[in-house]
Amino acid sequence: MVIQKEKKSCGQVVEEWKEFVWNPRTHQFMGRTGTSWAFILLFYLVFYGFLTAMFTLTMWVMLQTVSDHTPKYQDRLATPGLMIRPKTENLDVIVNVSDTESWDQHVQKLNKFLEPQKNDVCRPGRYYEQPDNGVLNYPKRACQFNRTQLGDCSGIGDPTHYGYSTGQPCVFIKMNRVINFYAGANQSMNVTCVGKRDEDAENLGNFVMFPANGNIDLMYFPYYGKRFHVNYTQPLVAVKFLNVTPNVEVNVECRINAANIATDDERDKFAGRVAFKLRINKT
Amino acid sequence: MGKKTLEIYSVELNGTKDVEQTDKQDGKERYRGLKNCFHSKKDHHTEKLKKELDLDDHKLSIEELEKKYGTNIITGLSSTQAAELLAQNGPNALTPPKETPEIIKFLKQMVGGFSILLWIGAILCWIAYGIQYSMNKSSSLDDVYLGCVLALVVILTGIFAYYQEAKSTNIMSTFNKMIPQQAFVIRDSEKKTIPAEQLVVGDIVEIKGGDRVPADIRLLSAQGCKVDNSSLTGESEPQARSSEFTHDSLLETKNIAFYSTTCLEVSTSPVGTATGMVINTGDRTIIGQIASLASGVGNEKTPIAIEIEHFVHIVAGVAVSIGILFFIIAVSLKYQVLDAIIFLIGIIVANVPEGLLATVTVTLSLTAKRMAKKNCLVKNLEAVETLGSTSIICSDKTGTLTQNRMTVAHLWFDNQIFIADTSEDHSNQVFDQSSGTWASLSKIITLCNRAEFKPGQESVPIMKRIVVGDASETALLKFSEVILGDVMEIRKRNHKVAEIPFNSTNKFQLSIHKTDDPNDKRFLMVMKGAPERILEKCSTIMVNGQEQPLDKSTAEAFHTAYMELGGLGERVLGFCHLYLPADEFPETYTFDVDAMNFPTSNLCFVGLLSMIDPPRSTVPDAVTKCRSAGIKVIMVTGDHPITAKAIAKSVGIISANSETVEDIAKRLHIAVEQVNKRDAKAAVVTGAELKDMSPEQLDELLTNYSEIVFARTSPQQKLIIVEGCQRQNAVVAVTGDGVNDSPALKKADIGIAMGIAGSDAAKNAADMVLLDDNFASIVTGVEEGRLIFDNLKKTIAYTLTKNIAELCPFLIYIIVGLPLPIGTITILFIDLGTDIIPSIALAYEKAESDIMNRKPRHKKKDRLVNEQLAIYSYLHIGLIQAVGGFVVYFTVYAQEGFKPSILINLRVEWEDSNVNDLEDSYGQQWTWYQRKYLEWTGYTAFFVGIMVQQIADLIIRKTRRNSIFQQGLFRNKVIWVGIASQIIIALILSYGLGSITALNFTMLRPQYWFVAVPYAILIWVYDEVRKLFIRLYPGSWWEKNMYY
């Protein structure tokens, strides 16, 4: 015995849909009467209204536990990272000496980055601590980072545009800000750069660091956070590459040598170090 | 009914039922259907089958047979002939049905259910990696890993499901076991033993008592041969076999013995064996044809499989539509196609409850185990639920509803009908045993009986002892043993001097004994047999122990009683005796049974005794329970209508106050045609009537009558009945034990075979086996089935809920650009980790209310996953969970330095591995890896948030209507095991494996574990309120929308 399957014609299907959308007999729209729809809307209005209120409330309560000035936890920031300027897409500094446009953007960025700031002149070699001592000491003063320290890379009265126009580019190294981090643990620290592999070292050629030795002074630490430390300027180290082999990609790695900054984290390639590529195209 | 049918029950004294007389009309019809079915089989060898069935081998003389098969009954076939035939016709074995190759079954598991979606997800992962790789050779392998993990999930769940399916056995596997190992055959004039598989048509075989018949054989010589055809036809009586041609039908004639039936006995003289010629082998045998009929019946999809499919469609529909919607949104938001693909993967993974199908399987097998403990062995896991949705049970009579043994049910003496106890142990015989008539009657019962207990069974309860003898004599023996004590001892004291066993011509059995009264030297002649034959031989009747002349009024009383007992569907026997006068028959007298040198008339009639295969004592109660559970119980039997109706009445299939059309006609003394059919609630339909019915008429019959008995039905008709019920949208359960039931068992939504009495074929075709043959076990099955359906609902609701909480993060991530709140791997750890044991724990939940008092669910209306369930899980609890999860997520980020406001649209920079000085809300700068680590902490936090709320979800899912406090918070201990497992798994993931970055888990600060607790409480309170309103306002808008 074959059970006959009811096959609906196309017209029937359309008819059924029509009836589903609006059923004139029962006055149902999409399977519900007007009152039912009203109930549904009202219900969801109340329900979701309540849920939103609950969310807002819990978020508000949660935000009460968070200070405006310092983060509650800094679990991930034990080791500050290093970064370079100019900031490029894949951390590769490519300079076409003859092609102004290729480095002009870097120069613009650097100019902006190195805009002069008016800050205190602090005593070098010591942390510039500004404890609260019970009363909020606010805002905190920031130490001046004088552009002149960057020597040839300061860009002041520099017709070579940080050396980009001559194929001797300056790359700036900076250390990530971490609140209340006493970098160097009271000992002096500096940045060093090397070619990543032997051939990179060869191709890299000579370079000079500004300030001398790539030193970072303790006076720029600790950092007190965006709210307190309004005009904080990050200390920088500039590296001017003097005779990079042209038309070759050179892998450069710079790391900071400081007592309390580990630079050998296998997973975080930017913890206390930075790697970038340098390529100078000369025709 | 009249006289004709009465005869049926009165003549079968020795079980040598006279098939010719009784089955002439019905017999043909009984097998007609079977034949039809072979005809209609679309198999290419249909024609061949038909030809085989039209065989007239039983009509041919031995010489003609010899000619036809080129054999000789003395010398047999020659070995070369046999080898030729074997090569031509194949071995004498049933070919197993075309099996789906294992690899196909396995692959089916790999692509069924959600697997397709997950495969798509995996492939998308690899495509995404391909795109990444083509853009950047050093791109991370994360997507490849994720793809592999997804593939692994599919493969593992597929293997799991395959393993479960493989456990359920195949129908043919024990058909093969039924083949006798060896056959005794005459070939080359030599008797030899060969494997039965090598038998060919024309072989001359010898069978001994206890052998299985090795093929369909035409008997050439057989004396006192009896075969048990019960597995083939459902007749529980041993069938006599001889070499004479007695019936036109191959299936009815006595000179054919069928393959795989058992030869019970062959009289010892002169040879002790029956000889026969093989006429059919292997698949061409009758049983082979029924087997192919059974395996030809397609296995119906179980209701739960349909429901799960429906549910998979819903979830897959939601997943695909949200996936596509957000793919479009992502593209129009100027995301790259690569990103959009990755979003799609996330959405798919979040939407698919990966662990659910495995959970369902485990849940079902847990119930199956529980049912096995209650003697319901479930072969097909999905069948566990089927009984719960069953709305019609088609039950076989013999062996299922009845005890499948003749038992004394009524006695008639002293002009009175007495009721004997027919319960399983006969313990409670209450009829009056003080009358002198009873003393005489009991003596006849005891003495005029050839049945004997097998020795060495003294410790066995009487009803369980094994008896040598046929069914009626066994019944009488046990009956007398229970009432009188040691029957064998009584027989010893009343030494038997002569005996005439029953035969179908004189229809009585007689024996002559010395009495145990030392003062009485007379011989006692006792006789039993067909009541009217016995009465003819009597001139007096015993009333209250006194002999009285048999006058017209007593004869009238006899007839009334006889009719009444016959009308109950019982087999009636008459008993009489005569004390032979001592002067004519002195102690030394030699009785000669051939010369009949003793009187066989003018005896004294003592009483009637009727026997029936009584219903099992648990059945009436079970039938009532089925009734109150809204299940219609239909009896489908091969037995006679009167017996069927009587049993149906006594077990309540036809309830006490309902009448058939015929009953009404009889009561009102009008013709059957004049009765208003609507007045009758019950109907008894014979196979002959069914044959003439159109499908529409059958539908009408099935809908109009609530109490139906089908009698004298063939295997094919059983199929038709099952199909008819299924046309009513009913979920049909069929119970049965014989080979003849196996096609119907297969066709039914759930086939239930009897474990003890059932034939292997029936057990194989069935989805469930009742180990104790007890119909009442079905009620247990129904209850468990309904419970599992309810609990599966709860499990699915529980599992679906968190999918929204997993999905929302992706949607928010795409639209608002937050750092990803929860990763795909993490989602898999919820779906396949923390949620598994709790969702199984819901299977242990007790029923909320009396599930046996509600109607079976409607196949098309009461879905496992309905709109309300999906909406409540997705849009109510699921959303609360999502919000709760986000609160934990925001808490972690804010306390580490990223306040919610800064997170918005941070996605691109956040994920850029070249940005290693991303500023947070406090001006601190983060490297990419530091952020990544925070992101994983976020995953862990969101994961813990969901986990905590899933605990609340688990608790609220315990009930759908009642308050948790009504249900008892601690009654289901497994729930608490589940909760503990959730917490322990989460703790291990966070603290134990937190250092393995590949899993994206980190160690979470302890306080974050409690952030979502307010939302967990909200879930519980909200659900209590929902249930409260449902209970307060039944039928209201609220219930319609909120009850799932």
B922 and A267 in contact by Cβ < 8 A? no
* Nearest-CB residue to A76 (from B726, B896, B899): B896
Strands (E), A59-138: 82-85, 92-96
CA of A74: which chain B residue's CA is closest? B896
* Separation of alpha carbons B420 and B407, rounded Å: 9
Instruction: Reply yes or no on whether the pLDDT at A16 is more than 70.
Output: yes
Cross-strand partners of B207? B274
The alpha carbon of residue B856 is apart from the nearest alpha carbon of chain A, in Å, by 23
Q: Identify the CA nearest to B367 among candidates B378, B358, B355.
A: B378
Ranges assigned E (strand) in B216-280 = 216-221, 225-228, 239-241, 256-257, 262-265, 274-280
Instruction: Say if residue B1000 is exposed, middle or buried (CB neighbours under 10 Å; 0-12, 13-18, 19+).
Output: buried
Distance (Å, whole) CA B940 – CA B821: 9
Residue-wise pLDDT tens digits, B507-555: 888 888 888 878 888 888 999 988 988 888 899 998 888 888 888 888 8
pLDDT digit string (tens) for B334-354? 888 888 888 888 888 888 888
Residue with the larger pLDDT of the pair B1035 and A57? A57
What distance in Å separates the CA atoms of residue B278 and residue B284, rounded to the nearest whole number?
A: 12
List of long-range contacts for B370-374, beta carbons under 8 Å, 24+ apart? B370/B784, B371/B780, B371/B781, B371/B784, B372/B771, B374/B777, B374/B780, B374/B784
Q: Do B917 and A176 touch (CB under 8 A)?
A: yes
Encoding tokens for residue B975?
């729930």
Does the CA dihedral B913-B917-B918-B924 come out positive or negative? positive
Catalytic residues of B: 396
Residue type, B923: G
Of B658 and B635, the structure prediction assigns the larger pLDDT to B635
Asked whether residue B427 carries a pLDDT value surpassing 80, the answer given is: no
pLDDT tens sequence across B597-618 = 888 888 999 999 998 888 888 8
User: Which residue bears the tokens 């860009």?
Assistant: A155
Give the residue with greater pLDDT, B51 vs B657.
B657
Residue B24 has what pLDDT?
Answer: 38
Decide if B934 and A76 are in contact by the 8 Å CB cutoff: yes
Contact B526, B494 (CB under 8 A): no
Amino acid at B710: F
Distance from CA of B973 to the nearest CA of A (A): 32
Cα radius of gyration (chain B): 37
Q: Would you call B1018 and A76 a contact, using CB atoms and an 8 Å cutoff? A: no
Residue B258 in this model has a pLDDT that exceeds 90: no
* Sign (positive or negative) of CA dihedral A264, A268, A270, A276: positive
Secondary structure of B42-95 in the HEC alphabet?
CCCCHHHHHHHHCCCCCCCCHHHHHHHHCCCCCCCECHHHHHHHHHHHCCCCCC
3-state secondary structure of B274: strand
pLDDT, position B38: 41
* Contact call for residues B838 and B798 (beta carbons, < 8 A): yes
| Residue B1027 to residues B270, B806, B880, B958, B967, Cα–Cα distance (Å) | 81, 26, 17, 12, 12
CA B496 to chain centre: 49
The answer to whether B887 contacts A179, with C-beta atoms less than 8 Å apart, is no
- Cβ within 8 Å, pair A83-B916: yes
- Ranking B27-41, B202-216, B357-371 by mean pLDDT, the lowest is B27-41
Q: Are β-strands A189-195 and A92-96 bridged in parallel, bridged antiparallel, or unpaired?
A: unpaired
How is residue B989 annotated by DSSP?
I
Q: Span B128-135, mean pLDDT?
A: 86
DSSP assignment letter at B946: H
Exposure class string for B212-227: b at 16+ Cβ within 10 A, else e: bbbbbbbbbbbbebbb
Query: Residue B222's pLDDT is what?
Result: 77
**Which two three-digit tokens encode residue A283?**
């025709």
pLDDT on residue B109 = 79
Closest CA to B215 of B256, B155, B252: B256
Q: Is the pLDDT of residue B965 over 60?
A: yes
The pLDDT of residue B720 is above 70:
yes
In order, the DSSP letters of B625-646 are HHHHTT-EEEEE-SS-HHHHHH
Q: CB pairs below 8 Å between A and B: how many?
A: 134
- Higher model confidence: residue B765 or residue B876? B876
Q: What is the pLDDT of residue B493?
A: 87
Check CB contact under 8 Å for B922 and A40.
no
- Count of helices and strands (H, E) across chain B: 39, 30
| pLDDT of B33 over the 60 cut | no
Q: What is the rounded average pLDDT for all residues in chain B?
A: 83
- With a cut of 90, say whether residue A43 has pLDDT above it: yes
Task: Give the angle subtended at the CA of B323 by the CAs of B126 and B875, to the nearest 5°.
Answer: 135
Which member of B895, B925, B930 has the closest CB to residue A268? Answer: B930
| Nearest chain B residue (CA) to A68 | B922
Determine which of A4, A6, A75, A227 to mutate to test the interface with B (most B C-beta atoms within 10 Å): A75
Q: How many CB atoms lie within 10 A of CB B141?
A: 12
Which of A110-114, A197-201, B93-97 shows the lowest per-residue confidence on average (mean pLDDT)?
A: B93-97
**What count of other Cβ atoms lies within 10 Å of the Cβ of residue B672?**
12
**Local confidence band at B958 (pLDDT 50, 70, 90 cut-offs):** very high
Task: Give B553-569 as a DSSP string.
Answer: HHHHHHHHHHHHHHHTT
The span from the CA of B786 to the CA of A176, in Å, is: 64
Percent of chain B exceeding pLDDT 70 equals 89
Q: What amino acid is encoded at A178 in this protein?
A: V
Cβ contacts of A82 on chain B, cutoff 8 Å: 916
d(CA B514, CA A210): 137
Contact B924 A178 (CB under 8 A): yes
Q: pLDDT tens for residues A101-115?
A: 878 888 888 888 777
| CB-based contact B632:B650 (threshold 8 Å) | no
Rounded CA separation B119/B127 (Å): 12
Round to whole Å and give the CA distance between A56 and A41.
Answer: 22
Q: Which among B727, B899, B933 has the least Cβ separation from residue A66?
A: B899
* 3-state secondary structure at position A238: strand
Asked if B355 contacts B839 with a C-beta cutoff of 8 angstroms, the reply is yes
SS in 3 state form for B774-797? CCHHHHHHHHHHHHHHHHHHHHHH
Amino acid at A161: H
Cα–Cα distance, B925 to B897 (Å, whole number): 10
Contact predicate B229/B261, CB 8 Å = yes
**Distance (Å) from the alpha carbon of B901 to chain A's nearest alpha carbon:** 11
ipTM: 0.92
Which phi and psi angles does B341 have, rounded to 5°?
A: -65, -45
- Nearest alpha carbon to residue B345 among B901, B806, B899: B806
Which residue of A40, A43, A55 is in closest CB contact with B887? A55
User: Is residue B895 exposed (0-12), middle (13-18) or buried (19+ Cβ within 10 Å)?
Assistant: buried
Please report, as a single letter, which amino acid is at residue B1032.
L
Q: Which of residues 47-76 of A touch B (CB under 8 A)?
A: 47-48, 51, 54-55, 58-59, 62-63, 65-66, 69-76
| Of B191, B245, B184, residue with least CA distance to B215 | B184
DSSP letter for each residue of B666-716: HHHT--GGGS-GGG--EEEEEHHHHHT--HHHHHHHHHH-SEEEEES--HH
Instruction: State chain A's mean pLDDT as an integer.
Output: 85
Sorted by sequence, the CB contacts under 8 Å of residue A115 that are 6+ apart come out as none
Mutate to test the interface with B, among A77, A79, A82, A228 (most CBs of B within 10 A): A77
